[in-house]
């Protein structure tokens, strides 16, 4: 017996979304590009990063590395310096490795095939489909947290859908005529209207087709309160400057400021972190390929050179 077809938004619902996007969609610089390489850079930058931080960083990065060949020819240290302010530095190294793979195996052309895109370092199902839809006009659905919430609410009323069900629904709902705009539009709805708490259903272009909005319209008002266990958990969370992620970021920033590929001695104490924490952070950064540690001195390091 063949599998049941995936639920999908109707054509009139898609039209309403795109009409809203044309009037209300966020005007972001990288959305004007149709260069697959520039789009790949923007989508990697947008992973785990607020979109407004991406805009300036994207332009600056492309000024430094205007083509996939330029990025592939750079050293990891140069790429890490250009990535400053974005955080999650492994993304920069993965993008660099992806550029080298694109040059070596695809003649410097970003592949169009989703399976090939997913083979690139740091590129998962979401980023592969975002690039495929925006750069190449493929009618596929890119599913991130925002899209999961929008489609899950619209098609299932907020009930849990499996990853397979959701991906099928996203692909079936993608607008065949404007897949790139559709990808941007659904993400914008999730980011600005279909928020996790207090969604603005009355302003949403999908409200007439959305099962969640229909349920909300007939439900009694409710008040969300924080449970004692949540308050206790939130109070126990360590401040960001006490985390290893903060320490790693400070170390990489200091090495970015160093001259070329010279070894730099990292202070034995940074913020609240003592010498052992600094050495542990350097060791972890080295395992991730972000820095190199001097074999003769555990606190001398430099950005990765190869």
266 burial level (CB within 10 Å; 0-12, 13-18, 19+): buried
State yes or no: is 267 an active-site residue.
no
| Dihedral, CA of residue 129, residue 131, residue 133 and residue 137, to nearest 10 | -140
Q: Which of 237-256 are b and which e, b meaning 16 or more Cβ less than 10 Å from the residue's Cβ? A: eeeeeeeeebbbbbbbeebb
Q: Is 28 helix (H, G, I), strand (E, B) or coil?
A: coil
Q: How far apart are CA 157 and CA 91, in angstroms?
A: 34
Q: How far apart are CA 160 and CA 141, in angstroms?
A: 18
Residues 6+ apart with CB under 8 A from 247: 270, 271, 273, 277, 278, 281
Catalytic residue of the set 43, 56, 118, 216 = 43
Q: How far apart are CA 45 and CA 83, in angstroms?
A: 9
**Residues written for the chain:** 306
Report the run of H or E that residue 17 belongs to, with start and end: helix 11-24
The C-alpha angle with vertex 34 and arms to 33 and 40, in degrees rounded to 5, equals: 85
198 burial level (CB within 10 Å; 0-12, 13-18, 19+): exposed
- Residues identified as active-site: 43
């Amino acid at each position: 017996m063949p599998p049941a077809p995936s639920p999908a938004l109707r054509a009139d619902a898609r039209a309403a979304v795109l009409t809203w996007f044309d009037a209300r969609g966020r005007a972001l610089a990288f959305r004007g590009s149709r260069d697959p390489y520039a789009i790949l850079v923007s989508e990697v930058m947008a992973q785990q990063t607020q979109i407004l931080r991406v805009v300036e960083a994207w332009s600056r990065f492309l000024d430094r590395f205007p083509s996939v060949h330029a990025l592939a020819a750079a050293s990891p240290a140069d790429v890490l310096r250009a990535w400053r302010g974005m955080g999650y530095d492994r993304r920069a190294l993965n993008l660099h490795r992806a550029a080298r793979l694109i040059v070596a195996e695809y003649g410097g052309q970003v592949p169009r095939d989703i399976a090939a895109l997913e083979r690139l370092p740091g590129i998962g199902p979401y980023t592969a489909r975002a690039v495929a839809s925006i750069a190449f006009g493929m009618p596929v659905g890119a599913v991130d947290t925002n899209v999961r919430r929008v489609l899950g609410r619209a098609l299932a009323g907020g009930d849990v859908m499996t990853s397979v069900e959701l991906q099928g629904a996203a692909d079936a709902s993608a607008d065949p005529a404007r897949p790139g705009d559709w990808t941007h539009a659904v993400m914008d709805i999730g980011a600005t209207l279909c928020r996790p708490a207090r969604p603005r259903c009355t302003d949403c272009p999908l409200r007439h087709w959305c099962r969640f909005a229909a349920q909300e319209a007939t439900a009694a008002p409710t008040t969300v309160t924080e449970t004692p266990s949540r308050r206790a958990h939130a109070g126990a969370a360590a401040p960001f400057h006490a985390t290893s992620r903060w320490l790693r970021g400070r170390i990489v920033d200091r090495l970015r400021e160093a001259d070329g590929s010279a070894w730099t001695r990292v202070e034995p104490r940074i913020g609240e972190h003592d010498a052992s924490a600094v050495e542990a952070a350097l060791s972890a950064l080295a395992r991730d390929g972000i820095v190199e540690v001097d074999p003769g001195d555990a606190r001398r390091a430099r950005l990765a050179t190869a």
